[in-house]
Structure 1
Amino acid sequence: MILNKHSDSANTDSRRHLFGTFAGVFTPSILTIVGIILFLRTGYVIGQVGLASTLLIMAAAFTLCLLTGLSLAVIATDIRVKEGGFYYVISRTLGPAFGGALGLTLFLSISISVAFYVMGLVEVLNHLVALPDWLSVRILACAITVVLFIFAWLGADWTTKLQFLIMGLVAGGLLSFFIGGGMAFSQQTLAANWQTDASAEQFWLAFALFFPAITGFTQGLNMSGDLRAPHRAIPKGTFAAIGLSAALYVLVALVLAGTASISELTDNYYIMADVAMWAVLVAAAVMAATLSSGMASMLGAPRVLQAMGGDKLIPFLVPFAKGEGQDNNPRRAVMASTAIALLCVIIGDLNLLAPVISMFFLAAYALLNYATFFALHSDNPFFRPRFKWSHKIVSLIGGIGCVVAMLAINLIACVIAIAVLFGLHQYLARSHQHRSFTDHQRGALFKRVRELLFELNSMEPHPGDWRPHMLVFSKTPERHKQLLTFSAVLEGQSGLITLTRIVNPQHADEPEQQQILKQYQQAIDDTDVRAFTLVMQASDFQSGLRHIMSAYGVGPITPNTALLNWTSSNDSKQEHSPEDYAANFLEMIKADINLVALASARDPLFAKEAPAKGRKIDIWWRGGPTARLMLMFAYLCTRARGWQNTKLRILTEAERYSKQQVQDIFATYLDNVRIESEVEALDKVDLDSIKRYSSQSELVFFPIEVKEDEIVDSFEVGLQSLVDNLSNLVLVKASKSMQLDPDPDNGDDQKEG
């Protein structure tokens, strides 16, 4: 079966026309870099800031290229980069929210860039040939866009074949320029053009003008789904394109600086054609390179949209996932890209969008560098890139460099681009909860949690560090939601909850473990409570209980509280007998686990929406650790959503004190522990007084004592009578001392009354 499965996959790939390094990566990348800026703007940059500053600008730009290329090589040699290019890499590394935000903006940017390239081509044509009156610039641009659409509709195979012809034309134009420039080269002219009196502002304007030239070095990544071996083709083709294009730009700059004056370089965009031996070849090269850049963008943008549609991140993009033919050509996405490009051509004025689009490309490079740093830093054992000639610090420097370039080129456009990306990221993070692919986020979180656990374990524990870590035992499915919701109220957004069940696999009526976990997860989803789940198999409840309490947790994170249902003896859904409760509670106390038993029959009791009259929690105070634990839990309840305005009330027996003395004692104590509560001192606590005071309260915390074979209430009024007469009862027993106001300097020695 395994051999057959792999054979089918291989046959499927063999039916597609896949490209190698030269045709699939190097050619589209080099033709996009060696484009209109090389031929029409390099001379202008030299004229503005001089040759020395131009070489510095080129060095900075291509250094960012190289750093990003190294990051790209690391990512591309770890995973098989499928359809979607940048989107695929970012979504599988940083997650769908980052990937989706970047993918959508890149699709729009690449589609709009088609219009830029087409308008640039029309500008060259209009300069070389006088257009007839009936043929306006916009009509010609629309016609060229339709031609690009036809090639993209036919598929990448047709377009790639055409790129070989374009590469020949570009090579011919450059050869003509170098021959003519070599004949006219002058060292005196070169020295005169070495430096100008350009200001820092002019330098950054020149940098902003030049930088878009190198944004095409990742065109091969956009074609990742059409490559035969992406993990080999992408690094090799990208590095080759960066190296050759950097050499060409430097050579062109040197020749231009040695053959033309500053005024000629500044005023004449077509200076390369004037310097060349055969000007027509340079003109043909400019048009061919610009057309090639437009075609590469027309091929790349639809594949990003197709990949996003396939991942179903945004519902209205799903139809664009459909491809046509054995090459899975994204024709629906091609139509979308063409529509955007045509709209931009018709509008005509693209200067407003140009800076923002450049920012999106730079943001993509920054995120690619960060994604590589993120993956390397996570120490994920499954991240095993074949490319070893890089380091996570290199990727981090590349990412920072891209952000610096964004800020330097256009601050306003940078802020707009970041705001758009942030908004899309937040939308996707909130709307897309489930995903069908993995990324490195979980691995990075695991590493961080691991480091924090070791750090936490190295610290000396202190009473002030106490947080409720609850094991919530729930057997009856009908009570899962109530117990889970109550546990969320009880921990007050400060602790941990684990929904727990012990099953005996020898009993035929016990449900399967997966069935229980499914029920638990459904309860978690329905209540929107953050909790873990645990199902333990044991021959009996007590042995399973001992195992959980001794083994559950990691390092210093161990459970300290058990929460379960307490049911009346006449309840048909009773989960434990009184003797079982006593035995189980004793096991928990031996393990230093606090006990909380919910005896409430009010299903809507723990709704997040507070009643109009407000809520009240009663604490029946008998003193000692249990009383303080109940007060802590009552206070934590007031931090839960919907319970913030709940009033606390302490009820106690005056005993040998007067009621005023009791009030004074508690006023001082509550002030020390900084918890607000009313205090009621009763002459005697009996069942009638308990019912009279607490029957209408939302929660009633009541202390209990655990004996060998029974559980009794601390006021000795009859536990079963309390359970039968109150529908809002919470029974509590502390396993050890609880301090509500520990001294940070001497917490262990401090005593509370």
Structure 2
Amino acid sequence: MKTEAGEAKIQKMERYFRMNDRPLCTTTLRLNSVSCDQSDVGGNLSLGTSCTDGTGPTASSSVILNKYDGGGKTIRGELSEDRDADDKADLTADGERKLGTVNGVFLPCLQNILGVILFIRLPFITGQAGCFLASLMLVICFTATFTTSLSLSALVTNGSIQAGGPYYIISRNLGVEIGGALGALFYLGTTVAASMYVLGAVEAFQEGFGVKNLFRHDVQVISLVIMSQLAVVVGVGPRFVAITAPIFLSVVVISILCIIVGLLLFALDLWTGKLMFLHQNMYDENFAPNYTPDLETGRTPTFFSLLGLLFPSFTGIMAGSNRSAVLKNSSESIPTGTISAIFATTGLYFLFVSLLSSTLSNDILLENKLVVADIAFPHPIIVKAGIIMSSLGAALQCLTGASRLLAAIAEDGCLPFLRAFTPETPSANPVKAIIVTWLIASLFTIAGNIDFITPIITMFFLMMYCGINFCCFLMGFLKAPGFRPTFKYFHYKPSFFGFCWCLGLAIMINWFTVALSFLFLGMLSVYVAANGARKQWGDVGQGVLFSLGKFAVSSLSDKGDMHPKNWRPQVLSVIDTDEHGYPIKPHMLRLTAQMKKGYGVTMVLGRIIGSTLDKLAVERAGITRKILTQFMREEESHCYVDVSVSHGCMSEYIWAAALHSGLGPLRPNSILLAWPEDWKMEY
């Protein structure tokens, strides 16, 4: 009775695993040892399942029933499963807990957006452009980032996102050529952004503590020293960067609160800080623009130059997608966290522009770039320390993200000269990539002023935004079968608008830099196409070619019969092969290749005598197709090669091939045959 109960329990567990296994899973029942008599039933029954479908990590489950006691004791069963699979899925390769929406996306975006531009350049921009045009700049930047975030949300909800973030998205959708080139631009933009933050920290330190002009080129020397120290921190590992990020962000939030309170108290004549009441805005002098030469650079800014200076502060929307590999649920966290961060920070920027323009005089906004620290309540030192810490924290984030992006590009093999920077294991710290990133970032700190490098950052990130929007537009417009985003606010029209907006914005800021960027993109794309790895990622390029081919064939069919002036030979060459798959008369292939100057469609059809039900014949057909294709490549002829298996007579075979080959108007109008040796036998 107990043995029957045990067998029933085994069957029940077996049905459970069969119902819950994934596709292509196998179930095995293993009997280790069973010995039965009247008094004892002993042994181990092990029921195991293993999944090898290739769609995810291999999972295993097992049911073990220990031996039955013949003395009438209760059967003891042990169920051993990988019940902690979900817990393991929530861990990174380093064994750390994966991040959620707030810690993984929202806060990193905030930390990058609320950076050096907000503190030491937004007052200057407001004083130069005025309240109205400064607000218009914020609207322009918000439009670019918001439309890009919609496209990014659609792409990340279409499937899993691995290391590389935006580069991974574009390379898997637009192809290895465009993806590799845009990935290189994105890497350079992120690396130069680290230089901008370091220069901002040095400027805040020198301006805030009165230690300017210590020696010749002091800004460059101090920046190089700080960049080296930051590189050492990143080289230790990303754990320290993740630990310090909340500390830096907390200081930034406190600094912003101090600035807002100080401005409000200054407007109420309750606080002056290091300013005086004569620095108040008395006559709405900050509403209209007042373009005057910059005291440091000597340049007179324009609307679009100020826009290029402001835009890098909005490039922080990529901070969450750069962490896609360590997010618990990237398809949910990236859209929610990114869009929330955009709205929160844009509202804060509008608040700052409104308070600065309505509270402070135009002269103090133009002359004192650290005016937000001088007006802060209760003491300027809080904001000065906050600017320095926020800049250093953002620089750490940029160095970490850029080095891992370079490692992802190198691991994909898109750019052969970067393969040396591939880490030993995917979870290893990319030390070589960190060294290269440090060298490039140090090179740009030699500029000595963030105003000189912000246009470069703007162009690189706008090119990336164009790529994301264009990628999403193509996928939606072509109705790619593999593009089914779960983001409910997606439509391809906003993506196309975002692409045109970002491209137009880049051209208006600096058309020459845009031309250089496209030249750089083109050169990299050609290099990747010629020397890069061949990847089968199912990119949208195949969908574009399919749609164009379908449209061309349909349009050609609508034209009717081909006019004699446009007639071209469309040759169907029937080739006999031997038992090894080689052509019996190879001169037929040479003659077919020589007819390519007719610029028509050339088709080569091999024939194997046999049955389609014969497995060996079908395998021979595949081998023969490869051999004939290689023959035609050696003849430098681009043609369509196919091999069919038939046991009918030759005349019926040729007639069927002529009728069913080609598509629409692209059908053979000429047939090339070898001269038969025996008409009766062959035909």
Report the CA distance shift for 1:173/1:483 in structure 2 as closer, same or farther (over 3 A): farther
Taking only the aligned residue pairs, the percentage that are identical comes to 26
Report the CA distance shift for 1:73/1:350 in structure 2 as closer, same or farther (over 3 A): same
Which residue in 2 is equivalent to 1:64? 144
1:175 matched to 2:257: yes
1:46 matched to 2:46: no
2-side partners of 1:346 and 1:192: how far apart? 36
Give SS of 1:387's match: coil
Give SS of 1:380's match: coil
Correspondent of 1:501 among 602, 606, 609: 606
Task: Report deviation, 1:56.
Answer: 0.7
Report the CA distance shift for 1:528/1:279 in structure 2 as closer, same or farther (over 3 A): farther
Task: Report deviation, 1:185.
Answer: 2.6
Once the two structures are overlaid, the 10-residue window that deviates more, 210-219 or 478-487, is 478-487
Report the CA distance shift for 1:529/1:23 in structure 2 as closer, same or farther (over 3 A): farther
2-side partners of 1:184 and 1:345: how far apart? 36
* Matched AA of 1:327: S
Q: Is the 8 A contact 1:190 1:259 kept in 2?
A: no
Equivalent positions of 1:565-576 (< 5 A) are 565-566=674-675, 576=676
* Matched AA of 1:526: E
Correspondent of 2:174 among 94, 118, 121: 94
CA-to-aligned-CA distance 1:311-344 (integer Å, 9 cap, x gap):
21222212322255x7343222112211222333
Equivalent positions of 1:377-392 (< 5 A) are 377-392=477-492
Which residue in 1 is equivalent to 2:624? 516
* Matched AA of 1:307: A
Task: Report deviation, 1:348.
Answer: 4.8
Q: What residue ranges of structure 1 are gaps of 5+ in the alignment?
A: 567-575, 584-753
2-side partners of 1:341 and 1:319: how far apart? 19
Q: Is the 8 A contact 1:502 1:545 kept in 2?
A: no
Which residue in 2 is equivalent to 1:642? none
Which residue in 2 is equivalent to 1:232? 332
1:552 matched to 2:661: yes
Which residue in 1 is equivalent to 2:637? 529
Q: Is the 8 A contact 1:109 1:360 kept in 2?
A: yes
Task: Report deviation, 1:547.
Answer: 2.5
Give SS of 2:347's match: helix
2-side partners of 1:436 and 1:462: how far apart? 37
Equivalent positions of 1:318-333 (< 5 A) are 318-323=419-424, 327-333=427-433
1:162 matched to 2:244: yes
Correspondent of 1:435 among 535, 545, 552: 535
CA-to-aligned-CA distance 1:206-229 (integer Å, 9 cap, x gap):
222212221221122222222222
Q: Is the 8 A contact 2:235 2:434 kept in 1?
A: yes
Equivalent positions of 1:601-612 (< 5 A) are none
Aligned length: 573
* Matched AA of 1:560: N
Report the CA distance shift for 1:23/1:154 in structure 2 as closer, same or farther (over 3 A): farther
Task: Report deviation, 1:546.
Answer: 2.9
2-side partners of 1:50 and 1:119: how far apart? 26
Correspondent of 2:116 among 32, 36, 40: 36
2-side partners of 1:253 and 1:545: how far apart? 78
Q: Is the 8 A contact 1:78 1:385 kept in 2?
A: yes
Give SS of 1:8's match: coil
Report the CA distance shift for 1:183/1:354 in structure 2 as closer, same or farther (over 3 A): closer
CA-to-aligned-CA distance 1:211-254 (integer Å, 9 cap, x gap):
22212211222222222222112111211111111011001111
Give SS of 1:472's match: strand
Give SS of 2:317's match: coil
Task: Report deviation, 1:270.
Answer: 0.7
Equivalent positions of 1:410-489 (< 5 A) are 410-432=510-532, 434-464=534-564, 465-476=566-577, 477=582, 482-489=587-594
1:258 matched to 2:358: yes
* Matched AA of 2:316: G
Q: Is the 8 A contact 1:356 1:414 kept in 2?
A: no
Task: Report deviation, 1:286.
Answer: 1.1
2-side partners of 1:190 and 1:66: how far apart? 35
* Matched AA of 1:503: I
Q: Is the 8 A contact 1:311 1:436 kept in 2?
A: no
* Matched AA of 1:555: G
1:4 matched to 2:51: yes
Task: Report deviation, 1:264.
Answer: 0.9
2-side partners of 1:468 and 1:502: how far apart? 22
Correspondent of 1:110 among 176, 182, 190: 190
2-side partners of 1:22 and 1:386: how far apart? 20
2-side partners of 1:543 and 1:239: how far apart? 65
2-side partners of 1:153 and 1:493: how far apart? 61
* Matched AA of 2:303: F
* Matched AA of 2:645: Q
Task: Report deviation, 1:420.
Answer: 1.1
Task: Report deviation, 1:485.
Answer: 4.5
Larger Rg: 1
Once the two structures are overlaid, the 10-residue window that deviates more, 422-431 or 522-531, is 522-531
Q: Is the 8 A contact 1:481 1:524 kept in 2?
A: no
Q: Is the 8 A contact 1:28 1:292 kept in 2?
A: no
Which residue in 2 is equivalent to 1:295? 396
Which residue in 1 is equivalent to 2:303? 203
2-side partners of 1:180 and 1:443: how far apart? 57
1-side partners of 2:639 and 2:444: how far apart? 50
Report the CA distance shift for 1:275/1:128 in structure 2 as closer, same or farther (over 3 A): closer
Give SS of 1:500's match: strand
Equivalent positions of 1:345-360 (< 5 A) are 345=445, 348=448, 354-360=454-460
2-side partners of 1:289 and 1:483: how far apart? 73
Which residue in 1 is equivalent to 2:64? none
Correspondent of 2:91 among 14, 26, 39: 14
2-side partners of 1:15 and 1:406: how far apart? 37
Which residue in 2 is equivalent to 1:27? 107
Equivalent positions of 1:576-615 (< 5 A) are 576-579=676-679, 583=683
1:269 matched to 2:369: yes
2-side partners of 1:80 and 1:262: how far apart? 50
Correspondent of 1:144 among 226, 246, 257: 226
Report the CA distance shift for 1:493/1:47 in structure 2 as closer, same or farther (over 3 A): farther
Which residue in 2 is equivalent to 1:403? 503
Once the two structures are overlaid, the 10-residue window that deviates more, 111-120 or 400-409, is 111-120
Report the CA distance shift for 1:500/1:290 in structure 2 as closer, same or farther (over 3 A): same
Q: Is the 8 A contact 2:573 2:604 kept in 1?
A: yes
Q: What residue ranges of structure 2 are gaps of 5+ in the alignment?
A: 1-23, 26-49, 60-84, 269-279, 293-299
1:366 matched to 2:466: yes
Report the CA distance shift for 1:267/1:156 in structure 2 as closer, same or farther (over 3 A): same
